[in-house]
Copies of this chain bind each other. A is one copy, B any other.
Protein backbone atom coordinates (compact mmCIF):
# COMPACT_ATOMS: atom_id res chain seq x y z
CA UNK A 1 0.00 0.00 0.00
CA UNK A 2 2.69 2.45 1.04
CA UNK A 3 4.90 1.64 -1.92
CA UNK A 4 1.99 1.86 -4.28
CA UNK A 5 0.88 5.29 -3.06
CA UNK A 6 4.48 6.53 -3.08
CA UNK A 7 4.84 5.41 -6.69
CA UNK A 8 1.55 6.93 -7.55
CA UNK A 9 2.36 10.27 -5.95
CA UNK A 10 5.86 10.13 -7.45
CA UNK A 11 4.38 9.53 -10.85
CA UNK A 12 1.92 12.29 -10.28
CA UNK A 13 4.23 15.06 -9.17
CA UNK A 14 7.14 13.99 -11.37
CA UNK A 15 5.08 13.67 -14.51
CA UNK A 16 3.21 16.88 -13.84
CA UNK A 17 6.42 18.81 -13.23
CA UNK A 18 7.85 17.54 -16.51
CA UNK A 19 4.79 18.40 -18.47
CA UNK A 20 4.42 21.71 -16.73
CA UNK A 21 8.12 22.43 -17.35
CA UNK A 22 7.71 21.84 -21.05
CA UNK A 23 4.57 23.92 -21.34
CA UNK A 24 4.51 26.36 -18.48
CA UNK A 25 5.57 29.62 -20.10
CA UNK A 26 3.03 29.79 -22.91
CA UNK A 27 0.27 28.02 -20.98
CA UNK A 28 0.55 30.28 -17.96
CA UNK A 29 0.83 33.51 -19.90
CA UNK A 30 -2.05 32.44 -22.09
CA UNK A 31 -4.15 31.71 -19.04
CA UNK A 32 -3.25 34.81 -17.02
CA UNK A 33 -4.66 38.17 -17.95
CA UNK A 34 -3.66 41.53 -16.59
CA UNK A 35 -6.28 44.20 -17.19
CA UNK A 36 -6.61 47.85 -16.27
CA UNK A 37 -9.71 49.77 -15.18
CA UNK A 38 -9.96 53.56 -15.10
CA UNK A 39 -12.75 55.25 -13.16
CA UNK A 40 -14.15 58.76 -12.89
CA UNK A 41 -13.58 59.36 -9.17
CA UNK A 42 -10.60 60.39 -7.06
CA UNK A 43 -8.35 57.40 -6.31
CA UNK A 44 -9.66 55.62 -3.23
CA UNK A 45 -12.72 57.90 -2.97
CA UNK A 46 -15.10 56.20 -0.53
CA UNK A 47 -17.64 53.83 -2.07
CA UNK A 48 -17.41 54.99 -5.74
CA UNK A 49 -13.67 54.42 -5.84
CA UNK A 50 -14.09 51.25 -3.78
CA UNK A 51 -16.74 49.67 -6.03
CA UNK A 52 -14.39 49.03 -8.99
CA UNK A 53 -11.76 47.77 -6.54
CA UNK A 54 -14.35 45.35 -5.14
CA UNK A 55 -14.87 44.00 -8.66
CA UNK A 56 -11.12 43.61 -9.15
CA UNK A 57 -10.60 41.93 -5.77
CA UNK A 58 -13.45 39.52 -6.32
CA UNK A 59 -12.43 38.49 -9.84
CA UNK A 60 -8.83 37.92 -8.71
CA UNK A 61 -9.99 35.77 -5.80
CA UNK A 62 -12.59 33.74 -7.70
CA UNK A 63 -10.29 33.22 -10.70
CA UNK A 64 -7.37 32.31 -8.44
CA UNK A 65 -5.38 35.10 -10.08
CA UNK A 66 -6.13 34.20 -13.71
CA UNK A 67 -7.59 37.67 -14.22
CA UNK A 68 -6.12 40.60 -12.34
CA UNK A 69 -7.55 44.09 -12.80
CA UNK A 70 -5.48 47.08 -11.75
CA UNK A 71 -7.74 49.97 -10.74
CA UNK A 72 -6.84 53.59 -11.57
CA UNK A 73 -8.56 56.74 -10.31
CA UNK A 74 -9.32 59.94 -12.20
CA UNK A 75 -6.16 61.49 -13.60
CA UNK A 76 -3.89 58.51 -13.16
CA UNK A 77 -4.22 57.30 -16.76
CA UNK A 78 -6.83 59.72 -18.13
CA UNK A 79 -8.97 62.49 -16.58
CA UNK A 80 -12.30 61.62 -14.91
CA UNK A 81 -14.52 62.25 -17.92
CA UNK A 82 -12.29 60.31 -20.35
CA UNK A 83 -12.74 56.88 -18.79
CA UNK A 84 -15.08 55.97 -21.65
CA UNK A 85 -12.63 57.14 -24.33
CA UNK A 86 -9.89 55.06 -22.74
CA UNK A 87 -12.09 51.96 -22.69
CA UNK A 88 -13.52 52.46 -26.19
CA UNK A 89 -10.02 52.76 -27.63
CA UNK A 90 -8.61 49.83 -25.64
CA UNK A 91 -6.15 51.96 -23.62
CA UNK A 92 -7.82 50.24 -20.67
CA UNK A 93 -9.95 47.09 -20.85
CA UNK A 94 -12.51 48.45 -18.39
CA UNK A 95 -13.94 51.68 -17.08
CA UNK A 96 -16.33 52.84 -14.37
CA UNK A 97 -18.41 55.98 -14.00
CA UNK A 98 -21.90 57.13 -14.86
CA UNK A 99 -23.46 57.47 -18.25
CA UNK A 100 -24.16 61.22 -18.39
CA UNK A 101 -20.42 61.86 -18.11
CA UNK A 102 -20.13 60.73 -21.76
CA UNK A 103 -23.51 61.87 -23.04
CA UNK A 104 -21.72 64.05 -25.61
CA UNK A 105 -21.00 60.82 -27.49
CA UNK A 106 -24.58 59.60 -27.59
CA UNK A 107 -27.56 61.64 -26.36
CA UNK A 108 -29.54 58.64 -25.08
CA UNK A 109 -26.88 58.13 -22.38
CA UNK A 110 -28.44 61.05 -20.46
CA UNK A 111 -31.54 58.97 -19.74
CA UNK A 112 -29.66 56.02 -18.26
CA UNK A 113 -28.11 57.52 -15.11
CA UNK A 114 -31.43 58.63 -13.72
CA UNK A 115 -34.29 60.95 -14.50
CA UNK A 116 -35.87 63.89 -12.66
CA UNK A 117 -39.07 62.66 -10.97
CA UNK A 118 -38.19 59.24 -12.42
CA UNK A 119 -37.58 55.80 -10.96
CA UNK A 120 -36.25 54.99 -7.49
CA UNK A 121 -33.28 52.63 -7.13
CA UNK A 122 -35.52 49.63 -6.58
CA UNK A 123 -37.72 50.55 -9.53
CA UNK A 124 -34.71 51.18 -11.73
CA UNK A 125 -33.26 47.77 -10.87
CA UNK A 126 -36.70 46.36 -11.68
CA UNK A 127 -36.72 48.15 -15.03
CA UNK A 128 -33.28 46.74 -15.87
CA UNK A 129 -34.56 43.24 -15.09
CA UNK A 130 -37.71 43.87 -17.15
CA UNK A 131 -35.82 44.63 -20.38
CA UNK A 132 -34.13 47.96 -19.60
CA UNK A 133 -30.72 46.31 -19.58
CA UNK A 134 -31.05 45.27 -23.23
CA UNK A 135 -32.10 48.76 -24.33
CA UNK A 136 -29.17 50.29 -22.44
CA UNK A 137 -26.82 47.83 -24.16
CA UNK A 138 -28.15 49.05 -27.54
CA UNK A 139 -26.96 52.53 -26.56
CA UNK A 140 -23.57 51.30 -25.33
CA UNK A 141 -23.14 49.19 -28.49
CA UNK A 142 -22.67 52.50 -30.31
CA UNK A 143 -19.62 53.11 -28.12
CA UNK A 144 -18.25 49.60 -28.63
CA UNK A 145 -18.43 48.56 -24.98
CA UNK A 146 -20.25 45.95 -22.95
CA UNK A 147 -22.36 47.59 -20.24
CA UNK A 148 -23.09 46.48 -16.68
CA UNK A 149 -25.08 48.23 -13.97
CA UNK A 150 -22.58 48.42 -11.11
CA UNK A 151 -23.77 50.95 -8.57
CA UNK A 152 -26.76 53.01 -7.51
CA UNK A 153 -26.85 56.16 -5.41
CA UNK A 154 -30.42 55.68 -4.19
CA UNK A 155 -32.46 58.83 -3.63
CA UNK A 156 -30.11 61.79 -3.58
CA UNK A 157 -30.36 65.11 -1.77
CA UNK A 158 -31.50 68.31 -3.49
CA UNK A 159 -28.17 70.03 -3.00
CA UNK A 160 -26.21 72.72 -1.16
CA UNK A 161 -27.21 76.38 -1.39
CA UNK A 162 -25.90 79.59 0.13
CA UNK A 163 -29.33 81.15 0.27
CA UNK A 164 -32.85 79.89 0.77
CA UNK A 165 -34.86 78.70 -2.19
CA UNK A 166 -38.47 79.73 -1.61
CA UNK A 167 -39.82 79.48 -5.13
CA UNK A 168 -38.87 78.55 -8.67
CA UNK A 169 -37.78 82.17 -9.24
CA UNK A 170 -34.91 81.71 -6.80
CA UNK A 171 -33.15 79.39 -9.26
CA UNK A 172 -32.60 82.39 -11.50
CA UNK A 173 -28.99 83.56 -11.29
CA UNK A 174 -27.71 80.39 -9.64
CA UNK A 175 -24.45 78.92 -10.95
CA UNK A 176 -24.98 75.32 -9.99
CA UNK A 177 -23.11 72.06 -10.40
CA UNK A 178 -25.88 69.67 -11.41
CA UNK A 179 -25.13 67.28 -14.27
CA UNK A 180 -27.36 65.27 -16.58
CA UNK A 181 -31.05 65.94 -17.06
CA UNK A 182 -31.34 67.80 -13.75
CA UNK A 183 -28.93 70.35 -15.18
CA UNK A 184 -31.07 70.77 -18.30
CA UNK A 185 -34.13 71.38 -16.12
CA UNK A 186 -32.30 73.98 -14.01
CA UNK A 187 -31.28 75.78 -17.20
CA UNK A 188 -34.92 75.84 -18.26
CA UNK A 189 -35.84 77.67 -15.04
CA UNK A 190 -33.09 80.27 -15.35
CA UNK A 191 -29.96 78.89 -13.69
CA UNK A 192 -26.49 78.41 -15.19
CA UNK A 193 -25.01 74.93 -15.07
CA UNK A 194 -21.30 74.40 -14.41
CA UNK A 195 -20.28 70.75 -14.44
CA UNK A 196 -17.06 69.74 -12.71
CA UNK A 197 -15.68 66.48 -11.29
CA UNK A 198 -16.36 65.93 -7.58
CA UNK A 199 -12.82 66.76 -6.52
CA UNK A 200 -13.08 70.29 -7.95
CA UNK A 201 -16.35 71.32 -6.32
CA UNK A 202 -15.16 72.59 -2.94
CA UNK A 203 -12.62 75.07 -4.41
CA UNK A 204 -15.19 76.10 -7.06
CA UNK A 205 -17.63 77.03 -4.29
CA UNK A 206 -14.86 78.92 -2.47
CA UNK A 207 -13.87 80.95 -5.52
CA UNK A 208 -17.48 81.61 -6.59
CA UNK A 209 -17.21 79.66 -9.85
CA UNK A 210 -20.40 78.03 -8.57
CA UNK A 211 -22.75 79.09 -5.77
CA UNK A 212 -24.80 75.90 -5.47
CA UNK A 213 -24.18 72.23 -6.08
CA UNK A 214 -25.68 68.82 -5.72
CA UNK A 215 -23.46 65.81 -5.41
CA UNK A 216 -25.06 62.70 -3.85
CA UNK A 217 -26.13 62.60 -0.23
CA UNK A 218 -24.97 62.99 3.39
CA UNK A 219 -22.09 60.51 3.53
CA UNK A 220 -20.51 61.41 0.19
CA UNK A 221 -21.13 65.12 0.71
CA UNK A 222 -19.65 65.09 4.21
CA UNK A 223 -16.52 63.39 2.83
CA UNK A 224 -16.01 66.35 0.47
CA UNK A 225 -16.80 68.88 3.20
CA UNK A 226 -19.53 70.80 1.38
CA UNK A 227 -20.98 71.94 4.73
CA UNK A 228 -17.92 74.20 5.01
CA UNK A 229 -19.02 76.25 2.02
CA UNK A 230 -22.83 76.18 2.07
CA UNK A 231 -25.38 76.60 4.83
CA UNK A 232 -28.60 75.08 3.46
CA UNK A 233 -29.02 71.44 2.55
CA UNK A 234 -32.19 70.96 0.50
CA UNK A 235 -34.33 67.90 -0.09
CA UNK A 236 -35.70 65.95 -1.85
CA UNK A 237 -33.30 65.16 -4.68
CA UNK A 238 -35.99 65.57 -7.33
CA UNK A 239 -33.27 65.49 -10.03
CA UNK A 240 -32.17 61.95 -9.18
CA UNK A 241 -34.56 59.68 -7.28
CA UNK A 242 -31.78 57.24 -8.13
CA UNK A 243 -28.59 57.41 -10.12
CA UNK A 244 -26.76 54.44 -11.55
CA UNK A 245 -23.07 53.79 -12.01
CA UNK A 246 -21.81 51.71 -14.92
CA UNK A 247 -19.03 49.25 -15.45
CA UNK A 248 -18.05 49.04 -19.11
CA UNK A 249 -15.73 46.65 -20.87
CA UNK A 250 -14.00 47.06 -24.22
CA UNK A 251 -15.94 44.79 -26.59
CA UNK A 252 -12.90 43.01 -28.02
CA UNK A 253 -11.43 42.39 -24.57
CA UNK A 254 -14.81 41.04 -23.45
CA UNK A 255 -15.18 38.70 -26.42
CA UNK A 256 -11.74 37.25 -25.70
CA UNK A 257 -12.68 36.06 -22.22
CA UNK A 258 -13.53 32.43 -21.44
CA UNK A 259 -17.03 31.86 -20.10
CA UNK A 260 -16.03 31.39 -16.44
CA UNK A 261 -14.32 34.80 -16.33
CA UNK A 262 -17.30 36.39 -18.07
CA UNK A 263 -19.55 34.89 -15.39
CA UNK A 264 -17.32 36.34 -12.66
CA UNK A 265 -17.41 39.87 -14.10
CA UNK A 266 -21.17 39.72 -14.65
CA UNK A 267 -21.77 38.66 -11.06
CA UNK A 268 -19.14 41.04 -9.67
CA UNK A 269 -21.04 43.92 -11.30
CA UNK A 270 -24.23 42.82 -9.52
CA UNK A 271 -22.29 42.73 -6.26
CA UNK A 272 -20.86 46.21 -6.96
CA UNK A 273 -24.36 47.50 -7.70
CA UNK A 274 -25.49 46.23 -4.30
CA UNK A 275 -22.29 47.39 -2.59
CA UNK A 276 -22.75 51.05 -3.54
CA UNK A 277 -26.39 51.25 -2.47
CA UNK A 278 -25.84 49.17 0.68
CA UNK A 279 -22.82 51.17 1.80
CA UNK A 280 -24.65 54.45 1.24
CA UNK A 281 -27.69 53.11 3.10
CA UNK A 282 -25.32 52.06 5.90
CA UNK A 283 -23.50 55.40 6.13
CA UNK A 284 -25.90 58.16 5.04
CA UNK A 285 -28.09 58.03 8.18
CA UNK A 286 -25.27 58.66 10.66
CA UNK A 287 -23.67 61.23 8.32
CA UNK A 288 -26.93 63.19 8.13
CA UNK A 289 -26.99 63.32 11.92
CA UNK A 290 -23.36 64.53 11.99
CA UNK A 291 -24.07 67.26 9.44
CA UNK A 292 -27.07 68.54 11.38
CA UNK A 293 -25.96 67.99 15.00
CA UNK A 294 -22.20 68.65 14.74
CA UNK A 295 -21.93 71.06 11.80
CA UNK A 296 -25.13 73.04 12.19
CA UNK A 297 -26.30 72.34 8.65
CA UNK A 298 -29.87 73.54 8.07
CA UNK A 299 -32.13 71.03 6.35
CA UNK A 300 -34.72 72.63 4.09
CA UNK A 301 -37.48 71.08 2.04
CA UNK A 302 -38.32 72.51 -1.37
CA UNK A 303 -41.93 73.77 -1.25
CA UNK A 304 -44.67 71.87 -3.08
CA UNK A 305 -44.95 74.80 -5.51
CA UNK A 306 -41.23 74.69 -6.28
CA UNK A 307 -41.37 70.93 -6.75
CA UNK A 308 -44.45 71.09 -8.96
CA UNK A 309 -42.71 73.69 -11.12
CA UNK A 310 -39.56 71.59 -11.35
CA UNK A 311 -41.63 68.49 -12.21
CA UNK A 312 -43.44 70.29 -15.02
CA UNK A 313 -40.17 71.67 -16.40
CA UNK A 314 -38.62 68.19 -16.10
CA UNK A 315 -41.38 66.60 -18.16
CA UNK A 316 -41.01 69.20 -20.91
CA UNK A 317 -37.21 69.00 -21.04
CA UNK A 318 -37.19 65.20 -21.09
CA UNK A 319 -39.82 64.98 -23.79
CA UNK A 320 -38.06 67.55 -25.98
CA UNK A 321 -34.68 65.90 -25.64
CA UNK A 322 -36.01 62.44 -26.39
CA UNK A 323 -37.72 63.67 -29.53
CA UNK A 324 -34.37 64.58 -31.05
CA UNK A 325 -33.25 61.00 -31.80
CA UNK A 326 -34.90 57.62 -32.16
CA UNK A 327 -32.78 55.75 -29.65
CA UNK A 328 -33.44 58.33 -26.91
CA UNK A 329 -37.16 58.06 -27.67
CA UNK A 330 -37.10 54.26 -27.48
CA UNK A 331 -35.21 54.35 -24.20
CA UNK A 332 -37.41 57.04 -22.66
CA UNK A 333 -40.62 55.30 -23.74
CA UNK A 334 -39.46 52.11 -22.08
CA UNK A 335 -38.74 53.99 -18.85
CA UNK A 336 -42.04 55.89 -18.98
CA UNK A 337 -44.11 52.75 -19.59
CA UNK A 338 -42.47 51.06 -16.64
CA UNK A 339 -42.78 54.20 -14.50
CA UNK A 340 -46.57 54.31 -14.91
CA UNK A 341 -47.20 50.89 -13.33
CA UNK A 342 -44.24 51.21 -10.95
CA UNK A 343 -45.51 54.42 -9.35
CA UNK A 344 -48.89 52.73 -8.77
CA UNK A 345 -47.27 49.70 -7.15
CA UNK A 346 -44.76 51.71 -5.10
CA UNK A 347 -47.68 53.86 -3.97
CA UNK A 348 -49.36 50.91 -2.24
CA UNK A 349 -46.09 49.26 -1.15
CA UNK A 350 -42.90 51.19 -0.25
CA UNK A 351 -44.51 54.62 -0.17
CA UNK A 352 -47.54 53.46 1.82
CA UNK A 353 -45.47 51.63 4.41
CA UNK A 354 -43.15 54.63 4.83
CA UNK A 355 -46.21 56.80 5.40
CA UNK A 356 -47.56 54.29 7.94
CA UNK A 357 -44.20 54.19 9.69
CA UNK A 358 -44.32 57.99 10.02
CA UNK A 359 -47.59 57.98 11.99
CA UNK A 360 -47.57 58.98 15.64
CA UNK A 361 -47.17 55.96 17.94
CA UNK A 362 -44.90 54.64 20.69
CA UNK A 363 -42.17 52.29 19.45
CA UNK A 364 -39.32 50.76 21.47
CA UNK A 365 -35.85 52.29 21.49
CA UNK A 366 -32.55 50.45 21.72
CA UNK A 367 -32.03 49.18 25.27
CA UNK A 368 -35.67 48.42 25.86
CA UNK A 369 -36.83 52.00 26.42
Interface residues in chain A, defined as those with a beta carbon under 8 Å from any beta carbon in chain B: 8, 11-12, 15-16, 18-19, 22-23, 27, 58, 61-64, 117, 120-123, 125-130, 154-157, 217-218, 235-238, 241, 259-260, 263-264, 267-268, 270-271, 273-275, 277-286, 288-289, 299, 301-302, 304, 307-308, 311-312, 314-315, 318-319, 322-323, 329, 332-334, 336-338, 340-368
Contact = CB atoms under 8 A, between A and B. Distances in A.
B366 A281 contact: no
Contact of A365 (B64, B121, B129, B340): B340
A62 B267 contact: yes
Protomer copies: 2
Contacts of A12: 19, 22-23, 27
A354 B356 contact: no
Contacts of A121: 122
A353 B238 contact: yes
A354 B354 contact: yes
Contact of A126 (B281, B346, B350, B367): B281
A366 B337 contact: yes
Contact of A354 (B120, B270, B273): B120
Nearest to A280: B126
B349 A351 contact: no
Contacts of A154: 122, 349-350
Nearest to A361: B311
Max chain B C-beta neighbours (<10 A), residue from A62, A130, A289: A62
Contact of A315 (B283, B346, B364, B366): B364
A-side binding surface: helix, strand, loop or mixed?
Answer: helix
B267 A271 contact: yes
B312 A362 contact: yes
30 contacts: A62-B62, A62-B267, A122-B122, A122-B154, A125-B277, A125-B281, A127-B282, A128-B278, A154-B350, A155-B353, A157-B348, A218-B345, A236-B349, A238-B356, A284-B349, A285-B338, A285-B344, A288-B341, A288-B344, A302-B356, A308-B361, A315-B364, A318-B364, A323-B368, A333-B366, A333-B367, A333-B368, A343-B358, A347-B358, A354-B354
Nearest to A62: B263
Contacts of A332: 364, 366
A356 B260 contact: no
Nearest to A333: B366
B357 A117 contact: yes
B286 A241 contact: no
Contact of A22 (B15, B130, B155, B323): B15
